[in-house]
Structure formats: structure tokens, C-alpha cells
Amino acid sequence: MTSTPTGDARGTVLVVNSGSSSVKYQLVDPASGEAVASGLVERIGEPRGAVKHVAHGETTRRELPVPDHAEALRIVLGLFDEIGPDLSAAHVVAVGHRVVQGGSRFDGPVLVDDAVEHAIEELSPLAPLHNPPNLTGIRVAQALLPDVPHVAVFDTAFFRTLPDAAATYAIDTAVAEQHQVRRYGAHGTSHQYVSQQVAEVLGRPLEDLHQIVLHLGNGASASAVRGGVAVETSMGLTPLEGLVMGTRSGDVDPAVVFHLHRNAGMSVDEIDDLLNRRSGLKGLSGENDFRALHELVDAGDPRARLALDVYLHRLRKYVGAYHAVLGRLDVLTFTAGVGENDDLVRARLVEGLDAMGIEVDPERNAGRKGEPTVISPEGARVTVLVVPTNEELAIARQALDVTGA
Ligand code: AMP
């Protein structure tokens, strides 16, 4: 093994996102922002798992049984050994773990210790599909990489600053407190990263900017950020609330749940499945990928047209509401799969918003954006941008902040 570190002397960070049946990873050089290697283990626990490892510009794919998360991470470390890059040579100084739910407790990244592990476990009722596999990933990675610090980076942390008026649901206080019912938000790492990038790209102090960030991917969320501090966000107790998403409904009257239970005889689990996995664009049109949705619209499919209209209407409502929350709007930013790639969604969203100072220049807006790009016309009252998100880099940098490496 060589002792030449990849990247600069600060070394690299291994970022791990451990889901219920998958583990995503990326070896990040935080100084350059480069992904030195990345990959994904899928279908953990199923008879045939799938592994993908990308390094040195080449993709290696394998199919093999992956019984559990421990084996998944062992396979990943084996691939680093076999294909590279050599983790010792890459000088891994920290492992950053994405954790979905940090509850009221975590307002930033923390070094993992027994108390942190316990807290992640205790918060599992708020994110039953995510926190348990996140914690499993942490434990397994600690056992396999015991000599480096492990840092938990919470998807909710950026929204811990929400004012009580934004975080509180108007339900009985005792019930809400006992069951920790409040707005926690999600995608916080992305909203924080993008809002900070905006200040850097514009060369303006973050403290001066009133921003709306639209994270539009398969999941979608909006946030209002004043001076770098989140003051409102569309996801709530869980990532179900807010915008119309690929397969999630976003906002519905809560009475829809009672109605379906009482009158359609659906169980709570069935309604959970309906609103999380069979709703949104998919529920409305049969398609949750925007590329396919546009094709259906072009072919005259009325359900697809309605789906797009509902999506844009909801998004516009949030932009208007957050403008009011902020009082003044300086910047509106699009990010994530749809926000970065879909110029039609961007153009249609701002239709009719010129009175609010929000408009895009058709030429600047055209096409997919792989780097931060201003798309509003010269001199526009609100600067509209596309900024690619990079949650792995954000997690890597936060992990370094904590470890001081
Ligand atoms: P994400 O969850 O951020 O990975 O975003 C995934 C979504 O981005 C997909 O479901 C698509 O709807 C959308 N998307 C990805 N690439 C494109 C593209 N070239 N044009 C339009 N939408 C895209």
C-alpha cells in the first residue's frame, strides 16, 4: 500500500446511506468535492442482491446474495480492496452517516457514541422505515472501520431552527408533546448545502439573503431560508407533507384518511401505502418520472396533463406562501433531479409570477444544468438559479467539521 493520500492532506470521507434494503456509499474528497468512488448495494435480504461499484471511471456490477447489512458493507470494503481505490491510501479520516430523523434533539452533525446510537433508536417511531437501517449501517461500519470517527448527519437538523409558529401543528398540546408530533422537515442537508452554495455563487453574504429553495426530485420539498437560517419547510412530521411528489400525495385534508378508513374500509397501513407509494404523479397519471410524464402530455394524455397542472399549482402556492413568510424574496433556487434537469417545469412554474419579480430567461433556462446557473434575466428583482445538490459532499464536509480532521 502506498501512503500517498487521495485529494489533499485532509484525506477523504466515506459517506454511507444505509436504507432498509440498500446501502449507498461514496468516497468523497471534501477539498475538491470529487467523488473518488461510489456505489450501491441493493436488494439486501433478497435471494439475489445487486452490487454496483464505480471507481477510476469504470463501473463494476455483480449479482450475489447479500443476506444483511453487515455483509453488504463487507462486500463494499472488499470491492475497495479488489478494484480500488485503496482505502488506506485514500486516507479515510471519517465516516459520515446519513440519518433521516434527528427529532428535536439534534441540530447538527454529531460524533457517534453510545448515547447518540440510543437516541437514534429512540427516535425510530418517527421514522420506522429509516432510522433502524441507518443505525444498523452505523453499527456495522463501526465494527468494520473501528479506527476512524463515525459522524451522524441528520436530514432534519437544518430545520431544527424553525420558529415554533412554523413547527407547531395546531392540535392538542399534550397529545403533540407526548407523541413528539411537530414539523421536523426532511432533505435538510440538501436545503442547507444549496442555500449556502447560492451565497457563494452570487458572491453575497448568506446573512443578507432571503431565499426559497425548491428540492424537486422523486421526493420534493420547499424551504424558506432567511440569512442562512431555515424558517419554514414543506415536509412535516414525515416526508409525506407538502409538495406533490413522484409517488407521495403531499398535502391532503387529514380527513381523507378517516374517510377512506370509515367508508372505503381501508386499513391504516393500506392508506399509508396509498399516500406514500401510489399517489403523487404516479397516482394521478401512472408515471412518476418527468421524462415519461412529458411524453404522455405531448401525446395528449389528459391524466398526465392534470398531474402536471396539480404539481405546478401546488408548487406555485408554496412559492407564494414562502414569499409571504420571508416578507422579501431575493433568490429562488431549483435543485435535485427535476429541478436541475427539467427546464419545462422551471419555466412553467414561474408563469404568472412576474408580478412577484420572479421570471426566467428562456435562453438561460434552456437545458439541463450540471453546475450553478443563474436563469433569471439580467436585473430581475428575484435571482432565480439552478444549483445542483450534493448531499454526499455536504455530509462529508459536516463530518470533517465535527471531527476537526
Ligand atoms: P432525484 O430524486 O433527485 O434523483 O430525482 C429523480 C427524478 O428526477 C426522476 O424521477 C425524474 O422525474 C427527474 N429527472 C431526472 N432526469 C431528468 C431529466 N433529464 N429531465 C426531466 N426530469 C428528470
Calculate Rg over the CA atoms of the chain: 22
Residue 301 bears catalytic tag:
no
For the chain, counts of helices (H) and of strands (E): 15, 14
Q: Which residues of 268-307 are buried (b: 16+ CB within 10 A; e: fewer)?
A: eeebeebbbeebbbbbbbebbebeebbebbeeebeebbeb
Confidence (pLDDT) at 9: 54
Confidence (pLDDT) at 129: 86
pLDDT-derived band at 22, boundaries 50, 70, 90: very high
Answer whether 14's CB lies under 8 Å from 20's CB. Answer: no
What's the CA-to-centroid distance between 181 and ligand 1, angstroms?
A: 31
The whole model's pTM is what?
A: 0.95
User: For residue 357, what is the DSSP state?
Assistant: T
Residue 8 has pLDDT above 70, yes or no: no
What's the CA-to-centroid distance between 286 and ligand 1, angstroms?
A: 16
Phi and psi at residue 40, to the nearest 5°:
-155, 130
Is there a shared CATH topology between the 12-154 domain and the 203-391 domain?
Answer: yes
Residue 150 has pLDDT above 80, yes or no: yes
Tell which atom from ligand 1 comes closest to the C-alpha of 290.
Answer: 12
For a ligand 1 pocket test, name from 338, 342, 368 the mutation site with the most ligand atoms within 8 angstroms of its C-beta: 338
Answer whether 375's CB lies under 8 Å from 386's CB. Answer: yes
Alpha carbons 145 and 74: distance in angstroms, whole number: 10
Q: Which tens digit of pLDDT belongs to each residue from 357-386?
A: 999 999 999 999 999 999 999 999 999 999
Question: Which residues form the pocket of ligand 1, taking CB atoms under 6 Å from any ligand atom?
Answer: 217-218, 246, 288-291, 336-338, 341-342, 368
Alpha carbons 268 and 126: distance in angstroms, whole number: 16
Q: Percentage of residues in the chain with pLDDT exceeding 90? A: 94
What's the CA-to-centroid distance between 139 and ligand 1, angstroms?
A: 32
Confidence (pLDDT) at 6: 45
- Averaged pLDDT, 105-127: 96
Alpha carbons 373 and 388: distance in angstroms, whole number: 9
Q: Which residue, judged by its Cα, is nearest atom 21 of ligand 1?
A: 342
For a ligand 1 pocket test, name from 298, 341, 387 the mutation site with the most ligand atoms within 8 angstroms of its C-beta: 341
For a ligand 1 pocket test, name from 189, 214, 290 the mutation site with the most ligand atoms within 8 angstroms of its C-beta: 290
To the question of domain 12-154 being in CATH 3.30.420.40, the answer is yes
Answer whether 124's CB lies under 8 Å from 132's CB. Answer: yes
Phi and psi at residue 266, to the nearest 5°:
-85, 140
Q: Percentage of residues in the chain with pLDDT exceeding 70? A: 98
- Averaged pLDDT, 197-225: 98
Tell which atom from ligand 1 comes closest to the C-alpha of 291.
Answer: 21
Q: Which tens digit of pLDDT belongs to each residue from 258-314?
A: 999 999 999 999 999 999 999 999 999 999 999 999 999 999 999 999 999 999 999
The catalytic residue among 155, 330, 342, 343 is 155
Residues ≥6 apart with Cβ < 8 Å to 295: none
Task: Tell me which H or E stretch contains 111.
Answer: strand 110-111
Q: Which residue, judged by its Cα, is nearest atom 11 of ligand 1?
A: 289
Answer whether 392's CB lies under 8 Å from 15's CB. Answer: yes
Answer whether 200's CB lies under 8 Å from 208's CB. Answer: no
Question: Which of 167, 179, 188, 163 shows the shortest CA–CA distance to 126?
Answer: 179
Tell which atom from ligand 1 comes closest to the C-alpha of 218.
Answer: 2
Helix (H, G, I), strand (E, B) or coil at 277: helix
User: Which CATH number does 203-391 carry?
Assistant: 3.30.420.40
- Name the residue ranges covered by the structural domains of the chain: 12-154, 203-391
Other C-beta atoms closer than 10 Å to the C-beta of 179 total 12
What's the CA-to-centroid distance between 35 and ligand 1, angstroms?
A: 20
Question: Which of 241, 321, 248 shows the shortest CA–CA distance to 280?
Answer: 248
